[in-house]
């Protein structure tokens, strides 16, 4: 019988026995074991010998979750149960962030050209597509690291600390542009200096979406940048106290996000202006003061 199955049988068949085993096997630290170490531990188990203390402490009995019970092949790191938990947790967090962003962007859009209309199927597909695409793209750095087994420090620094900064900013803009694309396509209401509506402008819609997308990029780009910079400058501290790294990174991200929300909302005026020369020809005559106004959205 395969050593994996023998291990499970030796540990008992009750629910609580299985629960205790899985709590042990899902320890993310077992992902640090290399394929060679896993194969060595497996060969020792097959021969009836006991792995030495160093190997046992590092592997933490991962032969049950790191080796396929039928083929005996070592399962790729990203698809081992501990890796699945870590990856799914990260993906779920990113999915929740992108879902909330999509809902916020849609709710706070300029809907002046949609009065009396029900949400279209196209808009629903845009929301679902934006969330799905942004979630997958946001998980790329982590997937690349685990999928390719990158161990070189410079590459890990690039994928963990550098790439997420422009990626977060780009995906925030993408989310905004996609969710509010109908404002650019259909236009939004513009007003004169007295507050009287003078028509629907696609140029104003494009400007409103562009400005808001830039503010959203600043929000999430800065939120991603500051914790990584802080981690870089405090590397020596975290090397001596490795347990501080994750809490400090998460707490600093939460603080920066909270501080950047009002800053990003204030980058552009809520009541935007568009110059006469940037308006459609049929609306230029209404801009007697040289410009018209519009509600930018949030």
pLDDT, position 57: 45
Burial class of 4 by CB neighbour count within 10 A (0 to 12, 13 to 18, 19+): buried
**In this predicted structure, what is the pLDDT of residue 55?**
46
Q: What pLDDT is recorded for position 75?
A: 63
Number of domains the chain contains: 1
Domain limits at 22? 3-295
Distance of CA 32 to the CA centre of its chain: 24
* Confidence (pLDDT) at 287: 81
Q: How far is residue 54's CA from residue 59's CA, in Å, rounded to a whole number?
A: 9
Question: What pLDDT shows up at residue 97?
Answer: 86
Write out residues in the chain with pLDDT < 50, as ranges. 1-8, 10, 51, 53-62
- pLDDT value at position 73? 65
Full strand arrangement of the beta sheet holding 188-191: 197-201, 188-191, 291-295, 271-275
The pLDDT, as a whole number, for residue 121 is: 80
pLDDT at 62: 46
3-state secondary structure 45-76: HHHCCCCCHHHHHHHCCCHHHHECCCCCCECC
């Amino acid at each position: 019988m395969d050593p994996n199955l023998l291990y499970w049988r030796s540990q008992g068949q009750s629910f609580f026995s299985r629960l205790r085993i899985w709590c042990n096997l899902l320890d993310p630290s077992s992902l640090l074991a290399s394929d060679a170490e896993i194969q060595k531990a497996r060969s020792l188990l097959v021969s009836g010998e006991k792995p030495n203390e160093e190997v046992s402490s590092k592997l933490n009995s991962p032969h049950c979750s790191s080796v396929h019970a039928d083929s005996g092949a070592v399962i790729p790191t990203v698809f081992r149960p501990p890796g699945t938990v870590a990856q799914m947790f990260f993906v779920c967090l990113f999915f929740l962030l992108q879902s909330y962003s999509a809902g916020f962007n849609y709710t706070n859009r300029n809907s002046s050209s949609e009065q009396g209309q029900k949400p279209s199927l196209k808009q629903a597909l845009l929301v679902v597509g934006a969330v799905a695409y942004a979630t997958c793209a946001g998980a790329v750095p982590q997937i690349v690291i685990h999928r390719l087994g990158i161990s070189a420090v410079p590459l890990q620094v690039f994928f963990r600390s550098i790439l997420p900064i422009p990626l977060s900013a780009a995906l925030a803009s993408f989310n905004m542009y996609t969710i509010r694309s109908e404002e650019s396509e259909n236009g939004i209401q513009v007003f004169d200096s007295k507050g009287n509506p003078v028509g629907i402008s696609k140029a104003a819609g494009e400007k409103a979406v562009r400005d808001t997308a830039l503010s959203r990029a600043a929000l999430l780009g800065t939120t991603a940048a500051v914790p990584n910079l802080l981690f870089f400058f405090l590397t020596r501290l975290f090397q001596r106290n490795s347990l501080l790294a994750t809490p400090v990174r998460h707490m600093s991200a939460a603080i920066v996000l909270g501080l950047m929300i009002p800053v990003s909302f204030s980058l552009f005026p809520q009541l935007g202006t568009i110059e006469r020369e940037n308006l459609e020809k049929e609306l230029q005559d209404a801009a007697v003061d040289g410009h018209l106004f519009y509600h930018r959205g949030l």
